[in-house]
Amino acid sequence: MTATTDGSTGAPGPRAAAASEPTDTPPAAPPPGGDISSAAARAAQRSVEYLLSRQDPQGWWKGDLETNVTMDAEDLLLRQFLGTLDEKTSHAAALFIRGEQRDDGTWATFYGGPGELSTTIEAYVALRLAGDRPDDPHMSRAADWIRAQGGIAASRVFTRIWLALFGWWKWEDLPELPPELIYLPLWFPLNIYDFGCWARQTIVPLTIVSAKRPVRPAPFALDELHTDARNPSPPRPLAPARSWDGVFQRLDRMLHRYHQVAPRRLRRAAMNSAARWIVERQENDGCWGGIQPPAVYSVIALHLLGYDLQHPVMRAGLESLDRFTVWRDDGARMIEACQSPVWDTCLATIALADAGLPADHPALVRAADWMLGEEIVKRGDWAVRKPGLPPGGWAFEFHNDNYPDIDDTAEVILALRRVDHPDPAAVEGAIARAGNWTLGMQSKNGAWGAFDADNTSAFPNRLPFCDFGEVIDPPSADVTAHVVEMLAHEGRAHHPRTRRGIEWLLAEQEPSGAWFGRWGVNYVYGTGSVVPALTAAGLPTAHPAIRRAVRWLESVQNDDGGWGEDLRSYRDPATMGQGASTASQTAWALLALLAAGERSGKAVERGVAFLAETQREDGSWDEPHFTGTGFPWDFSINYHLYRQVFPLTALGRYVNGEPFSGKGS
């Protein structure tokens, strides 16, 4: 069965475009008579009907996960490398990539963002593969801009790795990543478990690629992307030897020399060990880590070691990549970096329940059934640092048993508690296992990261190779807040681990009164996560930390009544809380203010009015802005369901009051 772009029907797989993301429907009329409570109730009801219509018959929801065109460009480069690129695929990908180009010739990594060099280079190369000519006006503009920014030599390492696969860059001019890394023990700095799970899943296959240094014949030259084609890779100056950057630059030089003399038997054994590690972590659906980049590099690495395209591991891997494809009405295809059904389903369940849908409503029961079926009961890489901890919890994706995450687990528990399920014993068992696993994943500082405990080594970010975004998984305020909120609702508000989490959150509050948002943009998301958690855990609304947060949110409310924040706040704290109003970010601010007891306040009324006034006739909201975060600033996400579930949650809590108070403390 074919699914819509927001996953409304059918099994996971290629999807046709749907009306779930309308772009030409006018906004709903403003609420008549100024009765904000009535307007909120009407908006909530329309939103409930819209969200219910988007549920898959199996019980899950999934919105498109939009990132940037590097996913599409690298998909074409992979197919070119494997010799499987066809005209239909290149044409459809080129349609999408061209459509994302801006007037200045560049491509950005988020809506309204600045042109980004590596993204623009990869998009340009992909369009060349699709047949666009260097002298085409849109290509000429891109090349001019690329050269003005320093050309290929100034791009990130990952971009130059892709170019090296075709001889457009020299392997010798890339940071070295030896496969012997797989043998480093846990106590040794820079062992593979010092990296975050997403980086670990990417780096291990890339050690094989780095050792093999393959080059496929390039179908064309890229001289037009160099500032000086005769000297495309000018030497980079060394940092001072006593600085960490200088130390790691010199370490990289040593590893380059080691590449020349590495014992063949040791290198062969290391690559085979890395290959076993990769194969052991392939998911049931053929993917790796549930995300596109590790899957792409794993396919390349295994292919270099002799796995042909018909090998079951390779065939399953390539088929999994096809399931990241979103086909649009105009014939264009977009590649998702990941898929988010567990996350979307638990958030949708919370939204519908808080909006007043009966706890035994068939849609909620189906959602709970599906979530229960997605519980992870096997050990994954998290057990390397927590060897005695029994498994439990949920991942983000359809099939990702190796990497449950703490954020999803907390929210799924909160969702299941809102459902009157016909098999309460099954619910209790899953929640007990997941709750104990979550407690056990607490880091030493009292907080929680997303996938691992104590994944805080300072060394991985120093490697010259690691310039592509966040490569470690330290605790964050938003994840910790979701865990604290869940534990409070589970009657564990006074558990010692919960109290340590609360203390950590209070210490992490910014002087402004906000909290940093690791996985959502940014301080609005962090604050919208933390305040409901603290009040659920028993902090009075008069607590100084709560009042500071309220004052900050009120100070950054936009004139239209909404809230917004641009991704630039990750680089420039002076822009925190500033940006065009969006439905999701307005909802996050409202969730905090409502939890702080501000229901009758002017800021809440204006925020609710903004949601009611900008809602479309079909009950949805439009939101082109990116409000999700993969890596702060470096990799941004537009979760297409955020614009639906969070506004509904906020409206529901405004109309019906705060959600259930849990099982006591």
Catalytic residues: 407
Tell me 108's DSSP state.
B
The span from the CA of 376 to the CA of 61, in Å, is 19
| Cα–Cα distances in angstroms (integers) from residue 47 to residues 50, 53, 142, 652, in the given order | 5, 10, 41, 10
The span from the CA of 376 to the CA of 28, in Å, is 42
Would you list the DSSP string of 238-266? PPPTTSHHHHHHHHHHHHHHHHHH--HHH
Question: Which stretches of 490-623 are DSSP H helices?
Answer: 496-508, 523-536, 544-555, 583-595, 602-614
SS3 76: helix
Chain-centre distance for alpha carbon 187? 29
The span from the CA of 566 to the CA of 561, in Å, is 17
The span from the CA of 346 to the CA of 368, in Å, is 8
The span from the CA of 391 to the CA of 436, in Å, is 9
Chain-centre distance for alpha carbon 72? 16
Question: Which stretches of 112-194 are DSSP H helices?
Answer: 117-129, 137-148, 157-164
Contacts for 266 with CB less than 8 Å, ≥ 6 apart: 180
Which strand (E) or helix (H) includes residue 513? Answer: none
Tokens describing residue 159? 């971009």
Question: Which stretches of 33-116 are DSSP H helices?
Answer: 36-53, 70-82, 87-100
